[in-house]
């Protein structure tokens, strides 16, 4: 089954996520001046909608049409329809000719070749002086905690290596702890990469 079919099936039932912004995104953007943003793997749109509430002009892209219908509806309910645009695409092949001040990719847990392809497209979309944020569940979390399969998890260093983020970028890596909620209760460990493209 394709990634789009998998995610459409998952989103076909009840709401999957809480609708709240990911705390790592809130923290990482606290000092940024709102501009244009791209949310890769946006799901039901919580992060993109939160960014729009902070004054960003946001595009969200995802495999799942089901998820994007929910995202569009949620944005409209909050009066943010003009600040958000939604794109359905196969993220294993998707690219964009646009560039953004902020590109974020939170909890994109796919097979290695899919996630690395999506990460490369995300990095390529960051304009000079812009910021790339990639966050995921750490492979060092206890296996008994409910979450994505271990083979779809990654370290921040693996992201840097996959993207060859050396010259031209300032990179910050960290692993943060947070309290999970609902079905994902327990102390969660997130890997965080925040990279700023230097102005040429």
CA–CA dist 144, 157 (Å, integer): 24
Task: Classify 74 as helix, strand or coil.
Answer: helix
The predicted model gives 121-146 an average pLDDT of 87
The DSSP letter of residue 19 is: S
Residue 180 — pLDDT band, cuts 50, 70, 90?
A: low
- Point out which residues pair with 177 in neighbouring strands: 189
- What pLDDT, on a 0 to 100 scale, did the predictor assign at position 22? 87
Quick check: 52 pLDDT over 60?
yes
- What pLDDT, on a 0 to 100 scale, did the predictor assign at position 143? 67
- What pLDDT, on a 0 to 100 scale, did the predictor assign at position 4? 65
> Domain spanning 3-197: which superfamily?
Vaccinia Virus protein VP39 (3.40.50.150)
Per-residue tokens: 3: 């990634």
- What pLDDT, on a 0 to 100 scale, did the predictor assign at position 166? 75
Of the two residues 111 and 77, the one the predictor is more confident about is 77
- Point out which residues pair with 192 in neighbouring strands: 135, 174
57 phi/psi in degrees, rounded to 5: -100, 115
Contact 76, 86 (CB under 8 A): no
Reported pTM: 0.88
Quick check: 15 pLDDT over 70?
no
CA–CA dist 81, 71 (Å, integer): 10
- Point out which residues pair with 173 in neighbouring strands: 193
């Amino acid at each position: 089954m394709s990634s789009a079919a998998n995610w459409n099936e998952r989103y076909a039932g009840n709401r999957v996520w809480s609708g709240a912004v990911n705390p790592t995104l809130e923290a990482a953007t606290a000092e940024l001046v709102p501009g244009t943003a791209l949310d890769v793997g946006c799901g039901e749109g919580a992060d993109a909608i939160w960014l729009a509430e902070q004054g960003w002009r946001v595009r969200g892209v995802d495999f799942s049409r089901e998820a994007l219908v929910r995202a569009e509806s949620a944005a409209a309910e909050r009066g943010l329809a003009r600040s958000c645009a939604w794109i359905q695409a196969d993220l294993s092949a998707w690219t964009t000719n646009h560039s953004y001040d902020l590109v974020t990719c939170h909890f994109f847990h796919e097979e290695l070749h899919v996630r690395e392809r999506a990460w490369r497209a995300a990095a390529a979309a960051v304009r000079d002086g812009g910021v790339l944020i990639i966050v995921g569940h750490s492979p060092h979390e206890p296996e008994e905690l409910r979450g994505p399969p271990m083979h779809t998890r990654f370290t921040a260093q693996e992201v840097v290596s996959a993207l060859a983020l050396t010259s031209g970028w300032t990179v910050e890596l960290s692993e943060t702890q947070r309290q999970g909620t609902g079905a994902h209760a327990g102390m969660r460990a997130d890997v965080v990469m925040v990279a700023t493209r230097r102005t040429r």
